[in-house]
Amino acid sequence: MSFREKTAWVTLIALVLVSLMYWLHIPSLFEPHRHGWVLLVLALSLGTFVLIEVIAWLVFYVRNPKETRTPKDEREQIIALKASRISSWVFTAGTFIAIFLTLHLAGAGPVAMGMSVVIAFVLAQVVRQAAIIIYYRRGA
């Protein structure tokens, strides 16, 4: 398994774990005077994600420094671009759905719209990492 594929796996798993951690706390957003607390959970989630990525990178670096330092070659760049194209569609669709819901659902305010956009962004990133892994698995 190449370094890029391993990092894609780590990012995918970290995204899913951290997102679950964050979204489990979302109901509290609707309790009065808890907005600041949810922002703290968001910050902690982002911090955890960055920490997982850094630790994984350090482990890969210790095990194979040369592979870690090697820049992306042309095939890896193409795989990243293909995956980004797919995830951009997911993000665009998610953003339009968020706007639609905010405009048409009673009681859906800017907070709900913001959360929907965050969901779309996280989903797009999950799809991107999954697409990268699939492309590498297929040997494309």
Partner 1 sequence: MTSTVITNGIRKLRFEHAEMTQQELADRISVTRQTVNAIEAGKYSPSLEVAFRIAKVFALRVDEVFQFAEPARGSRK
Size of the site for partner 1 (CB under 8 A): 10
DSSP code string of 76-104 = HHHHHHHHHHHHHHHHHHHHHHHHHHHHH
Residue 107 Ramachandran class (φ > 0 left, ψ -120 to 50 alpha, else beta): left
- The structure tokens listed for 26 are 């979302």
Q: Between 61 and 121, name the residue whose CB sits nearer to partner 1.
A: 61
130 phi/psi in degrees, rounded to 5: -65, -40
Token duo for residue 49: 């994600």
Least distance CB 70 / partner 1 (angstroms): 7
132 near partner 1, rule: CB under 8 A: no
d(CA 134, CA 114): 30
CB of 80 to partner 1, least distance (A): 13
Contacts of 113 (CB under 8 A, 6+ apart): 98, 99, 101, 102
Restricted to residues 55-74, the positions that interact with partner 1 (CB under 8 A) are 70, 73-74
Nearer to partner 1, 104 or 138 (CB): 138
138 binds partner 1 (CB under 8 A): yes
Binder of partner 1 out of 75, 80, 102, 118 (CB under 8 A): 75
Query: Within 89-118, which residues bind partner 1 (CB under 8 A)?
Result: none
Binding mask 2-31 for partner 1 (x = CB under 8 A): x-----------------------------
Tokens 């370094």 belong to residue: 3
Q: Which residues bind partner 1 (CB under 8 A)?
A: 2, 70, 73-76, 136, 138-140
